[in-house]
Structure 1
Amino acid sequence: MMKRIVRISAAVVLVVAAVLLGGSFYLLSYALRPDAVMAEKESSSYKYMCEEYPFLEGWIDSLRRTGALRDTVIAGTEGERLHAIYAAAPQPTDRTAVIVHGYTDNAVRMLMIGYLYNHDLGFNILLPDLHYHGESEGRAIRMGWRDRLDVLKWMEVANAIFGGNTRMVVHGISMGAATTMMVSGEAQQPYVKCFVEDCGYTSVWDQFSKELREQFSLPAFPLLHVASWLCDLRYGWNFREASALGQVAHCDRPMLFIHGDADDFVPTRMVYPLYEAKPGEKELWVVPGAAHAMSYRDNREEYTRRVGAFVGKYIPDDRQ
C-alpha cells in the first residue's frame, strides 16, 4: 500500500513538474519570440506610420530623396549584426538624439519622435533596431536589460557620426523607455546630457506578473519563477535583475518622465516609484486621457513643447 502511494505521489509530482516546465517554456516563447507579430509589423512599418502620422510622409520622402536617411550597422554584445537608421539635422549642429523603440516595434515605428527632434527641434537623430527587432539579428527580445549595453554602443556611434563632440539626449517609449532608464543607471560619457522616458515599466518581473494575471488569470508563483530561471539559462538574464527602477536610482543626469493617465498596459501607477527613485533633476508629466504610448499622437503640440523645453534646458538650441 505504501509503495503504491509513493508511486502515485511521484507520478503526480512528475506531471506537475512537466506541466510547469511546459508552461514556462510557452511563456518564454510567447513573451520573447512573438515572431508572427513582429514580422507583420516589420512588413507594414512605413505604411502604418504614414497612416497614423500623415505629416511624416513628406518628411520621410524628403529624407530619402536627398539621401539624408541612412543605415548603419554594428556588432552587438553577442556578436550579432545590429542595425540603425540616422539622419543629420537640417542645419549643422552637435545636438543629437538617440531614440529607442518599444516591444515588437522597430526604428521606423519611432520616426514620429525622430520628426519631433529632427524636424521640429533641429537635432541629429539615430534610431536603433534593438536585438531581434527590425533589421537587427538576435535570438529573442531582451526587454531592454541587455539592450542597454547595445544602446550605450549606439550612443558612441551617434556621437562619432555627428562630429565626435555632441550634446545628447536619449528618448524611449514603452520598452524603449525602460531601456532608456536601464541605460541611465550606467556610467555616462560627458556628452550625454539628459534622458526622456515615456511610459516605461518598473521592471520586467512587474510587467510580466501583471500580464500573467490579466491575460491568463495566473499568479506569478510558480510559473514566472521557472520562466525567469529558464530565461537565465537560455539567454543569460532573468526577469528580476531587469529593473528600470533599480537602474534609475543610479541616474546622475536629468530625466523627464511621461506617462498617460489612461495607460492600462504599463499601468500609470508605475511611473510614481520610478520618479521617486530618480535622484537629482527630474520632471514628471502625467498626460490626461492618454493610453499606452499615445501621449505624442494625442497631444502632439504639447508633447513637442514639453520635450523641447525640458531638453532645451540641458542642450540649448544653437540656432537661436
Structure 2
Amino acid sequence: MLLCSTTSCISFGAGWFMTGYSLKPGGNKAARDTAFSWRNVRQDKTTAAWLDSLNSVGALRDTFITCKEKPKYRLHAWYVKASRPTAATIVVVHGYTNSGITMMPYARMFSHDMGYNVLVPDLRYAGLSDGNHIQMGWRDRLDVEQWIDILPTIFGDSIQVAVHGVSMGAATVMMLSGDELPSYVKALIEDCGYTSVWAEFKKELKTQFHLPPFPLMYTANTVCRMRYGWSFKKANAVEQLKKSTLPMLFIHGTADTFVPYTMLDELYAAKPNNKWRWDAPNAAHAETFWKYRKEYAQRVRKFIEEHIGSCL
C-alpha cells in the first residue's frame, strides 16, 4: 500500500513538472520581454523599415480588452488600419513562446504589401497580455473570438475578416474553426499547426525525453485539468475541423519535424470541404514564410482575394 502511494506521488509530481515545463517554460521570459522582441524582429530590415514608417505617423497602435471568463485578465493587441475604409481585416495569431511582436513580418505582408487592416493579438501569458500559462490554442481560441467580435469597433462595420496563424497560432485558428463565428469571418489560414495538444506533447515526450506516453501524459493531463481547467485531449484541432464550414488554406513544410509534416494529412482529411493546401518543399517548422517569402505572399493573397473579393 505504501509502495502504491509512493508511486502515485512520484507520478503526480512528474506530471506537475511536465505541465510547468510545457505551459510555463522558463517563465516564458522571451515572449514577455517586449524590448527583446522588438530588437529581434527588427533584424529583418524590411520589417524594421515598415515599423519606422508606421511609428513616424503614429499608425502602429495598440489596445486592451478584458476577457469574458474568470479570472478577468487584460488582453492586448497591436493593430494597423488600412488607408481604404473597405479593406479586408486580417487577424494574425502568434505561436508557442512568442508574442504578437514576432508576427510583425507577417503583419507587414498583409498591411504594406496587400493593403489590409491588421490586428495582432498577444495571446495569454505573452507580450502585454495577462495570464498564468500558455493555453496551447484551446482557450486562446475564445480570446481570439472575443477580438473578432470587437473588430467592427476598431475598423468599421463594413468589414470582412480572415484569420491567419502560425504553429500554435495555426492550432488556435483550427480550434476556433469549429465554433460559431460572426458572418463577417470569411476565411482561415493555418500554417504548420498540430492535430491536438495531446499528440504534440506525446511526440515531444518521446523526442526530448525518450519516454512513452504512459503514465506521464495521463498524470500531466490530470494536473492540467486541476490547475487550469482544460484537457490536452479536449484541445483537439481535428475534432474542431470536422465542424468547420469556412474556407481554409493549410500550409505545412515537408521538412517539419517539430510539428510533424505527417499531421497535415490528418488535419486536411478532417475538414469536410472548402479546403486548400500547400506542402512547402523542404521547409522546416514555421520556415515556409521565410524560405518562400514571395510565393507565400502570392498564395495567401490569392486565397484571401478568392473569398473576400468584394471588399478589396
Task: State the TM-score, normalizing by the size of structure 2.
Answer: 0.96
2:252 is the alignment partner of 1:259: yes
- Distance in 2, Cα, partners of 1:63 & 1:286: 34
- The structural deviation recorded for 1:140 is 0.8
* 1:47 paired residue among 39, 46, 49: 39
Q: Is 2:30–2:98's contact at 8 Å kept on the other side of the alignment? A: no
Q: CA deviation digits over 1:135-173, x for unaligned, max 9?
A: 100121110101111100011122321102211000000
SS of equivalent to 2:52: helix
Q: CA deviation digits over 1:45-86, x for unaligned, max 9?
A: 1111121x2210110011111111111001123310100000
- Distance in 2, Cα, partners of 1:185 & 1:94: 26
Question: Which residue does 1:83 correspond to in 2?
Answer: 76
RMSD: 1.3
2:33 is the alignment partner of 1:34: no
Question: Which residue does 1:197 correspond to in 2?
Answer: 190
2:147 is the alignment partner of 1:157: no
- Distance in 2, Cα, partners of 1:266 & 1:193: 26
Question: Aligned in 2, Cα 1:201/1:315: closer, same or farther, shift over 3 Å?
Answer: same
Residues 227-246 of structure 1: pairs in structure 2 closer than 5 A: 227-246=220-239
2:44 is the alignment partner of 1:65: no
Letter in 2 for 1:66: V
* 1:74 paired residue among 56, 65, 70: 65
Q: Kindly, what percent of the aligned residue pairs are identical?
A: 44
SS of equivalent to 1:35: helix
2:14 is the alignment partner of 1:23: yes
Structure 1 unpaired stretches of 5+: 1-9
* 2:285 paired residue among 269, 292, 297: 292
Letter in 1 for 2:261: T
SS of equivalent to 1:84: strand
Q: Is 1:100–1:107's contact at 8 Å kept on the other side of the alignment? A: yes
- Of residues 13-22 and 304-313 in structure 1, the stretch that sits farther from structure 2 once superposed is 13-22
SS of equivalent to 1:13: helix
- The structural deviation recorded for 1:36 is 4.3
Question: Which residue does 2:176 correspond to in 1?
Answer: 183
Q: Kindly report structure 1 stretches of 4+ aligned residues shifted beyond 4 Å.
A: none
- Quick check: which has more Rg, 1 or 2? 1
- Distance in 2, Cα, partners of 1:262 & 1:241: 28
2:117 is the alignment partner of 1:124: yes
SS of equivalent to 1:193: strand
Question: Which residue does 2:99 correspond to in 1?
Answer: 106
Question: Which residue does 1:215 correspond to in 2?
Answer: 208
Structure 2 unpaired stretches of 5+: none
- Distance in 1, Cα, partners of 2:115 & 2:31: 32
SS of equivalent to 2:42: helix
Task: State the TM-score, normalizing by the size of structure 1.
Answer: 0.94
2:198 is the alignment partner of 1:226: no
- The structural deviation recorded for 1:90 is 3.4
Residues 274-313 of structure 1: pairs in structure 2 closer than 5 A: 274-313=267-306
Question: Aligned in 2, Cα 1:189/1:158: closer, same or farther, shift over 3 Å?
Answer: same
- Distance in 2, Cα, partners of 1:111 & 1:183: 22
- Distance in 2, Cα, partners of 1:216 & 1:246: 28
